Amino acid sequence: MIRNVRSYGHFCMTARALERVGDRWSLLVIRDLLSGPKRFTDLVARLGGITPKTLTQRLRELDEADLVTADRQPGRREVWYRLTPAGADLGPVIDALNQWGLQHAWRLPQPGEPLHAEHLLRTAVAAIDRAADDHEPAAWHLILDGGDYLVRSDGHRWMLTAEEPSMPADVTVTGTAAALRALIFGQSDRDLAIAGDAEPLQRFQALIGTMATLVPMAELPASRTTVE
């Protein structure tokens, strides 16, 4: 298998970093592994639009670059991909891109746009972390489209992981990504079950909509027609 040895040939650590994660899809694979190990098909579901061929190639490259490892247990069909410590250290890069996107590439979810629960939550968490003053500890357990997510604050930063909580959560939400989107953007929440004590629940309701208040670009003046 031919390796991607395209080098910029610069003595520059930014270029060196981009030689490893600058290919299309690479940083998005890292992004989706930052919340925990995933299987091939988990990644395909999140990376809507990636072809299996490309995902295979990226995972191989990231493996060779020692950013990702593949757990293959004998007698088990599934392969679990997870980040190495070096891969996990790309968290600040993803965070920086995420914050920049929030500032300069924000746009309401479009009607036909595929929406994965994990991406919606990631954006919500980034918006809360940036725009809200409330960083008191909290733990929310969300079960969306059958997947477990844990949103929590350690008192300083809000974080997202894709896992079942090891401790009881303050708030538990069950439903679909579409229902959560509706809740966030101020529409019906009939299809969402939200459980918890009154105070944490009220706090959840107050914070979860933070991203809907971000309207930096001209928003709602019809849609922007992309022409070539």
Q: Residue from 59, 67, 117, 211 that binds DNA (CB under 7 A)?
A: 59
- In the complex, the smallest distance separating the C-beta of residue 196 from a second copy, rounded to whole angstroms, is 26
Q: Residue from 82, 116, 135, 203 that binds a second copy (CB under 8 A)?
A: 116
Q: Residue from 49, 74, 168, 186 that binds a second copy (CB under 8 A)?
A: 49
Query: Contact 171/194 with Cβ under 8 angstroms?
Result: yes
Comparison of 79 and 201: residue with beta carbon closer to DNA: 79
Q: Residue from 39, 119, 135, 203 that binds a second copy (CB under 8 A)?
A: 119
* Cβ neighbours around 147 below 10 Å, total: 16
Partners of 140 in the beta sheet? 151, 171
Q: 69-128: which residues touch DNA (CB under 7 A)? A: 70, 77-80
* Cβ neighbours around 209 below 10 Å, total: 16
Alpha helices for 105-208 (secondary structure H): 117-131, 177-184, 198-208
- Give CA angle at 30 (150, 182), nearest 5°: 45
Q: Please, is 38 exposed, middle or buried when counting C-beta atoms within 10 Å of its C-beta (0-12, 13-18, 19+)?
A: buried
Per partner kind, with CB cut-offs from 5 to 8 A, the member of DNA, a second copy, none near residue 106 is a second copy
Interaction between residue 49 and DNA (CB under 7 A): yes
Q: Contact residues for a second copy (CB under 8 A)?
A: 2-3, 5, 8-20, 22, 24, 27-28, 31, 47-49, 86, 89-90, 92-107, 109, 113-116, 119-120, 122-123, 126, 226, 228
